[in-house]
Structure 1
Amino acid sequence: MPARLKGLYAITPDTEDSARLLSLAQAAAPHIDILQYRNKSEDAVLRLEQAQALAELCRRHDVVFIVNDDVELAARVGADGVHLGRDDAALSAARRRLGAGALIGASCYDSLERARRAAEAGASYLAFGAVFPSGTKPDAARAGLGLFSEARSLGAPLVAIGGIHAGNAGQALAAGADAIAVIGGVFGAADPAGAALELAEICRRGGR
């Protein structure tokens, strides 16, 4: 497993307040392994400015930087890779655009078959969720923790997402997740740095 595809995977909140976004990311950066930029705004200039600033921050802290959905934006800012959902670009097209060394993650939701297809197409990691009830996506299908042991044979790192916080992160890791993806559990906390540190320590212990 690539050493950089495990641990604490933080996903940014969707906000147009760039100063707040960068302040939150800066606070968490010393404790996270991967940062995904997620912003559904149609303001392309804003998204480019935010992504560029986050890419630079991640390079300074040796954090893997992933862009959600947008292959072209990932290419423009020199991101380490892109994360794709069911309605995004095909994995093969993203690979052609970003190159063989890019990290391309695939949302597999609650589907082992989708994970199998993504792995066969060359996904760098497979994400299952929501593993717990999610405040960000309350209507998301629940992905049972048993999926992680079933997906281990696919050979790609496995990411758990959805409703993860310090109180349940250990369950996802113990079930076989290599990384835990968190939005509110870090960036919605009163102390993002402290929350990230606590989750990072849980990751280092492997959920124990």
Structure 2
Amino acid sequence: MIKRGLAEFLKPGLYGITAEAHARGRDNIRVVQDMLAAGIKIIQYREKEKSAREKYLQCLRIRELTRQAGAVFIVNDHVDLALLVDADGVHIGQDDLPPDQVRKLVGQERLIGLSTHSPAQARAARGAGVDYIGVGPLFATRTKKDVCDPVGLSYLDYVVKNIDLPFVAIGGIKEHNIGQVTARGARCVALVTEIVAAPDIPAKVAALRQAMAINNDLTTI
């Protein structure tokens, strides 16, 4: 397997994350199909409530779909699941296994993303061997039960000016505020409920791309 997809984090674009509980009765497979049809090239599978077998079966199908679409597939938290389905990478949090230990498991050919919530965590990530970091939550969000308080746009400003790792902005980002995020230097933006809960996902993705580009010299993917 060739490590691929890192360049995607360097280009303006959307990073789609699953959340079946918010998807208007649609399962993760349908939502991912809609996101891929809309041109999203980075998909993260994040599912807290399902059984291990259900997650495995959904990830197998999503791996197939993302491969067909030429999209990057990231699994949240579960290193074993990422390996079993041959995902392109895994995204971990501050309370998960240390990045250097995750690297021993996934090897050099898979991406490792790490959530960060402060300048200290961002600085530590530079020496942790991760491929990219999550920066947020920028705004209040209720998508995750264990989410920390919003860190605000000042943290995004810090990362843009001081951290040379690729990053994805995340947390409470919606159509009405995504322009603020990209105007401050975020090139890749992750959204959860704003996309998965949309009645028409392709239409929402198109609206988000337009909002990203307003007053920002971006050609979004």
TM-score (norm 1): 0.89
Question: Which range is displaced more, 76-85 or 125-134?
Answer: 125-134
Alignment deviations for residues 52-97 of structure 1 (CA, whole Å, 9 cap, x no partner): 1111111111111100000111011111101001221111111111
- Runs of 5+ consecutive residues of structure 1 not aligned to the other structure: none
Alignment deviations for residues 22-72 of structure 1 (CA, whole Å, 9 cap, x no partner): 111111113212110011135111010011111111111111110000011
User: Comparing both chains, which one has the higher relative contact order based on Cα–Cα distances under 8 Å and sequence gaps of 6 or more?
Assistant: 2
Checking the alignment, whether the CA contact within 8 Å between 1:55 and 1:79 is kept in structure 2 is yes
Give aligned pairs, total.
Answer: 206
1:194 corresponding residue in structure 2:
203
The change in CA–CA distance for 1:56 and 1:106 in structure 2 (over 3 A counts) is same
CA distance in structure 2 between the partners assigned to 1:162 and 1:19 by the alignment? 22
Alignment deviations for residues 96-116 of structure 1 (CA, whole Å, 9 cap, x no partner): 11121211111102x110111
CA distance in structure 1 between the partners assigned to 2:61 and 2:34 by the alignment? 14
2:136 corresponding residue in structure 1:
129
The change in CA–CA distance for 1:34 and 1:114 in structure 2 (over 3 A counts) is same
Checking the alignment, whether the CA contact within 8 Å between 1:158 and 1:176 is kept in structure 2 is no
Q: What is the percent sequence identity of the aligned residues? A: 35
CA RMSD of aligned residues (A): 2.3
Alignment deviations for residues 110-161 of structure 1 (CA, whole Å, 9 cap, x no partner): x110111112112111112121121314863112212223223321112111
TM-score (norm 2): 0.84
CA distance in structure 2 between the partners assigned to 1:37 and 1:91 by the alignment? 19
Give the letter aligned to residue 25 of structure 1: V
Alignment of 1:151-166 (within 5 A): 151-152=159-160, 153-166=162-175
Checking the alignment, whether the CA contact within 8 Å between 2:14 and 2:190 is kept in structure 1 is yes
Checking the alignment, whether the CA contact within 8 Å between 2:169 and 2:186 is kept in structure 1 is yes
Give the letter aligned to residue 168 of structure 1: N
Give the letter aligned to residue 83 of structure 1: H
The change in CA–CA distance for 1:149 and 1:22 in structure 2 (over 3 A counts) is same
3-state SS, counterpart of residue 8 of structure 2: coil
Counterpart among 119, 122, 131 of residue 115 in structure 1: 122
- Runs of 5+ consecutive residues of structure 2 not aligned to the other structure: none
2:65 corresponding residue in structure 1:
57
CA distance in structure 1 between the partners assigned to 2:208 and 2:216 by the alignment? 10
Moved over 6 A (4+): none
